[in-house]
Chains A and B, each alone.
Chain A
């Protein structure tokens, strides 16, 4: 779960009273956030990925205000009277192949003191959290914060030739040409490819040509450095799709809304998925919550006043409409998509108690799959014969695959380690590993397992099929082909299957001492003696006989069910 370390004083400052450690934990019990650690200065909070707003001091405080009853509903953040648009973004068609989506808004301080250091730091820290999550490390969306009072709108978003761009990076003091920035700057090394295509790079400039930033890499010093005392900030986000851009802006706005800043739209002119007057970025969206949906999911009918109280407590606003409610979800709540999301807010606003649960009488008959019952017969028979029962991983090591000549299991593209690098197509591979890990114990060693393997199968939907095998190993002096074959014969007899053997070349077995087993003409298994070089490779000092039956193939031949997948 995403987590953030918040400044405790900045959360407390927005509450009427300080909150004790245990009261804070209680207040968050019915929320999607959790206190992982706390001390006098900081709160380490984790939250589910749909509630990132709770990972800012502002967002957390808004929630706590609601839970503790000092405020309710969506806080007002629109200017008291409608203003003229204070800024516009003009989008040049050149950005389309690189990063077409852009949108923004303006925040205005509630008083003349303007921006304070704490709020600026909070915004920057939360901005980075948004980049790492919704922004998918800036690929999907990245935010920029700028001092509007020191800039001249409208702003222009374009992909310009590199040689037409030079600027002072936010962390620098001298102007450098864009090509040098892309070559030398560490931020360009990391995010450069996102803001550049061929010999063009993305720029955001004001009407006088001052560079605000090279999205999504770095702000410029002249136009991109917000400072304490700034009274109006322009905030934008760019990305390849509209949704992450929208979400990132909405989330960041909560930092300012919680401190009574107002939020004003910024129009986007030109092409791009977010072109328009920009109001949809800053206004709440409405979700219709039919009472039938709420009642269906909750399993209980809430009185209308209770629905209202619960929604307002979690800082949503609501008005009644015919057959239900209209829920107002502010921009920092992008998790609220449809009626079910609004219903969840009502149902979980207060903790569900275990005693709220009901266990309805069952109108169904429980049962195992016939396939698994079939497999259990083999597992029991093998257990009855005294074969020990390991539970092995379906992944096998590269070394094992190399040791068994002719084995061709499916390889993982991105294994965690060489130890778990292939998917077994025969239990044999796992069982060689079991033998190798047990050489310190005495012989005879006999073990067996009924478990899945994955084999290439172009006709299967995923391109390979999961099949269940019964595999057995006899490692002891004198063990040989006949032991393996008689075991296969016996197991097949237990399900009344008559079988025949035919010579076959089987990976890992001695040529001339391995066979394929057929039932009703279909291959259902293999038996053989393991090659001495395989045994030498794993340090086994006695001969090993092996048999493996494909129960997924065998079942249907006996009139059983085919696999359901």
Chain B
């Protein structure tokens, strides 16, 4: 095909002509040309063309005459005057009659008024009306016709326009350049095991491939972007000497709240904010720990102590509430469990995990949300270490502007909130933290100060991943996850 094109004197060449020259079916020719085109060896020159054709009514009119001609003929038969009834009897009625009368009057061949009278003396009409000329030309396949009259005939439904393109082909630059195999020599396509085994490839030419041609679309698996980001953040913490901890997602209220000195009637513990589960019975914590926590809540001295740690929340502490299961609402519960195992200071711990709150789901809120919990427990740990850690973490994710404001959490004092300035989102509250209260460390028998924080990691991930909707983190669109679409 390429050889035939290259040898053509008159380029570009129509498909039909190529088919005729090579004595191949038109479909074969088209297929070959398309393959050559995919390899950038030929170029297509496609010219749109409009062709006028007779409609079925047009074909009929060409045979029996246009209505206006038939009207003129009928006038002749009736001596130059025709009543509407006579016209109807001649078979010219309705729309056809209106069209005929209109045209004949515009051409000055018919008087106004009824009955219809021929204008002028001429007994016979013109030999050919312009409409008849055009109709005949179209029927004969002529392309140059009077455009205004052809359009009018088209509006009358006698002609139609068909648009099509004429495809003409020529070799491309590369198509002219590449070497074609000499007659009789067969270039090697796929390198087969047979060819390799026989050595039949030796001394032969390899057919060159078009290295720019499209290839099959491959998809695979790649790490979940949210999980991958969380793991990167974990690496930062590990680098700072933090060890990982985990805790159950379904917790008792004791670990989720009580041990953190959250009053048992705290609004965040209500049925409106915390998610409770059906038909599950939890167990109270070890009795000695429970007794210490109860004492702290009630403002009594812990067993064996002379003085109370503080005035507590007053009222009576209810151990039945302590055993109630609840979906964990803060990763601080993990810190409490970790400290209850009495790790030997110095301690640096982190936990990045899911928590739950009873919240309508939208772009900024989710029932499930991630927190990055961290604690520093060591002799001499102070609020300055906490601020230093905020600064370190902010810088690790590329944020340099940080400001610190006072805040409040029932389990820390002082409580602070670190705000960072994001280039796009402005100031964002990202780092809440504080020093665990003696009411928290006392019952856990922790003897060194503990700095703690609970970063809203989901929010931070959104910012880092350039997303605006929380729900995108939970996206499970497989095309996107496979790296497709």
Which residues of A are interface residues toward B (Cβ below 8 A)?
A: 29-32, 34, 48-51, 136, 140, 241-243, 296-300, 335, 337-338, 340-341, 343-344, 347-348, 351-354, 356-360, 362-369, 371-372, 382-395, 410-417, 419-420, 423, 433-434, 437-438, 441, 445-447, 452, 454, 456, 458, 460-466, 563-565
Contacts and interface: CB of A to CB of B under 8 A. Distances in A.
A454 to B, nearest CB: 5
Contacts of B389: 357, 359
A410 B271 CA distance: 17
29 contacts: A32-B406, A297-B414, A298-B383, A298-B384, A300-B382, A337-B310, A340-B435, A343-B413, A344-B414, A362-B348, A363-B346, A368-B244, A369-B245, A369-B246, A371-B246, A390-B224, A391-B476, A412-B278, A412-B327, A423-B277, A438-B476, A438-B477, A454-B249, A456-B280, A462-B325, A463-B280, A463-B325, A565-B247, A565-B248
Contacts of A353: 404
A362 to B, nearest CB: 3
Contact of B449 (A297, A352, A460, A466): A297
Given A343-B414, A347-B414, A388-B482, A352 B282 contact: no
B329 to A, nearest CB: 13
Nearest to B477: A438
Interface stretch (B111-119, B140-148, B165-173, B215-223): B215-223
B368 A389 contact: no
Contact of A300 (B249, B279, B384, B406): B384
Contact of A51 (B226, B246, B408): B408
B283 A463 contact: yes
B268 to A, nearest CB: 10
Nearest to A370: B244
Nearest to B226: A391
A384 B223 CA distance: 10
Contacts of B237: 366
Given A338-B310, A354-B402, A367-B238, A563 B246 contact: yes
A429 to B, nearest CB: 13
Interface in B388-410: 388-392, 402-408
Given A461-B285, A466-B250, 8 more contacts: A357-B384, A369-B246, A395-B368, A415-B275, A416-B360, A461-B283, A462-B251, A463-B282
Contacts of B407: 32, 48
B221 A340 contact: no
A104 B354 CA distance: 46
A32 B408 contact: yes
Could you tell me the dominant secondary structure of chain A's interface residues? loop
B99 to A, nearest CB: 53
Contact of B416 (A296, A300, A352): A352
A410 B280 contact: yes
Nearest to A448: B221
B368 A31 contact: no
Given A32-B406, A341-B413, A394 B242 contact: no
B378 interface: yes
Contact of A364 (B241, B251, B367): B241
B430 interface: no
Contacts of B277: 410-413, 423, 464
A389 B224 contact: yes
B275 A364 contact: no
B278 A410 contact: yes
A241 B314 contact: yes
A158 to B, nearest CB: 23
Contacts of A369: 243-246
Interface string B314-354: 11000000000101000000000100010000111000001
A31 B250 contact: no
A415 B359 CA distance: 9
Interface in B451-478: 473-478
B402 to A, nearest CB: 4
B227 A389 contact: yes
A416 B438 CA distance: 36
Interface residues of B, number: 98
B201 interface: no
A369 B246 CA distance: 8
Contact of B248 (A32, A300, A412, A466): A466
Given A359-B391, A410-B278, A351 B239 contact: no
Interface string B40-58: 0000000000000000000
Contact of B385 (A51, A358, A419, A458): A358
Nearest to A430: B476
B437 interface: yes
Nearest to B473: A391
Contacts of A382: 221
Interface of B: 220-224, 226-227, 234, 237-252, 255, 265, 267, 271-272, 275-283, 285, 309-311, 313-315, 325, 327, 337, 341, 346-348, 354, 356, 358-361, 367-368, 378, 380, 382-392, 402-408, 413-416, 435, 437-439, 449, 473-479, 481-482
B415 A344 contact: yes
B378 A394 contact: no
B408 to A, nearest CB: 3
B406 A348 contact: yes
Nearest to A293: B438
Contacts of A462: 248, 250-252, 280, 282-283, 325
B250 A297 contact: no
A357 B449 contact: no
A392 B474 contact: yes
Closest 8 CB pairs of A and B: A299-B382, A362-B241, A357-B387, A357-B388, A48-B408, A366-B238, A243-B314, A299-B384
A564 B249 CA distance: 13
Contact of A340 (B247, B280, B391, B413): B413
A564 B246 contact: yes
Nearest to B251: A462
B415 A411 contact: no
Nearest to A392: B476
B244 A367 contact: yes
A461 B290 CA distance: 13
Nearest to A346: B414
A389 B243 contact: no
A30 B389 CA distance: 20
A363 B246 contact: no
A464 B223 CA distance: 30
Given A30-B406, A364-B241, A388-B478, A420 B283 contact: no
A395 B356 CA distance: 10
Nearest to B263: A243
Contacts of A297: 382-383, 414, 435, 449
Nearest to B359: A416
Given A338-B438, A366-B242, A454 B361 contact: no
A369 B313 CA distance: 36
A463 B281 contact: yes
A15 to B, nearest CB: 22
Contacts of B248: 460-462, 464-466, 565
B461 to A, nearest CB: 11
Contacts of B406: 30-32, 48, 344, 348
A454 B250 contact: yes
B419 to A, nearest CB: 10
Contacts of B221: 382-389, 446-447
B354 A394 contact: yes
A411 B267 CA distance: 23
Nearest to B353: A452
A108 B168 CA distance: 104
Nearest to B272: A414
A565 B243 CA distance: 15
Contacts of B435: 297, 340
A50 B474 CA distance: 35
B313 A243 contact: yes
Contact of A363 (B241, B272, B341, B360): B241
B119 to A, nearest CB: 70
Contact of B387 (A337, A356, A416, A447): A356
